[in-house]
Structure 1
Amino acid sequence: MSMEDLVITDNEFLRQFETQINDELACIEYSQQDRKIFLTKLRMPDGTEHRQEDFIVAVLNEIKERNTRVVPTSPEIAGYIRKHRRKYKDLLPVGINI
């Protein structure tokens, strides 16, 4: 299973991005202000941690297409962006360093 297999859904009612992994729901909760989206919490089903990066990348790609800035307050997502700073620096609001 690769990142392309992940279908990301934006559940605006629950304010979370969702995907199915092994028939279980993984989600990244968010809140939105102005042109910024705050990624606040990552929840992965037990045993699917190996897919965590794929899910984060898929959600970041979705946000990039919306031309919106990202403020990662979830430690896992902030850590991922920090590790791949060059690739995602354009997604961060001006003045935000993680």
Structure 2
Amino acid sequence: MEIKDNTFARQFETEVKEGLVSVEYSFQEKKIFLTKINTPESFDNEEFISNFLKNIMEIAVERKFKVVPILPKIVVFFKKNPVYKELLPPGIRL
């Protein structure tokens, strides 16, 4: 999966045949706040979204960022993938 970090639009992006899938973010003090998932209308592949989020977590690890999930769907991702809980900042519990 090829992910583009579109810093101008503040989102991670990847292409699927239906169009663009993106996860919007904002930064604050070495923390990345994941705020919204955008998908084409006809796109409903939860496994793809999960893999996309896993790739974003790897980017966070590489860049030494803590991840703050704002969107409930991303909170559920963290609950289903406890290996990434180390990326949560101190004080954040799910």
TM > 0.5: yes
Q: Distance in 1 between matches of 2:79 and 2:20?
A: 26
2:85 matched residue in structure 1: 89
Structure 1: which 5+ runs fail to align? 1-5
The C-alpha deviation readout for 1:19-39, integer Å capped at 9, x for no partner, is: 011151100000000010000
1:30 to 25, 33, 44: 25
> Which of 6, 17, 20 is the aligned partner of 1:11?
6
Contact 1:8 1:18 in 2 (8 A): yes
Partner of 2:77: 80
In the other structure, the counterpart of 2:61 is 64
Conservation of the 8 A alpha-carbon contact between 2:23 and 2:35: yes
Q: Give unpaired runs (5+ residues) of structure 2.
A: none
Instruction: Quote the residue 1:47 is aligned against.
Output: 43
The Cα of 1:47 is off from its aligned counterpart by 2.4
TM-score (norm 2): 0.90
**Deviation (angstroms), 1:48:** 4.2
What percent of counterpart residues are identical?
40
RMSD: 1.2
AA at the equivalent of 1:78: V
Shift of the alpha carbon at 1:73?
Answer: 0.4
Count, aligned residues:
92
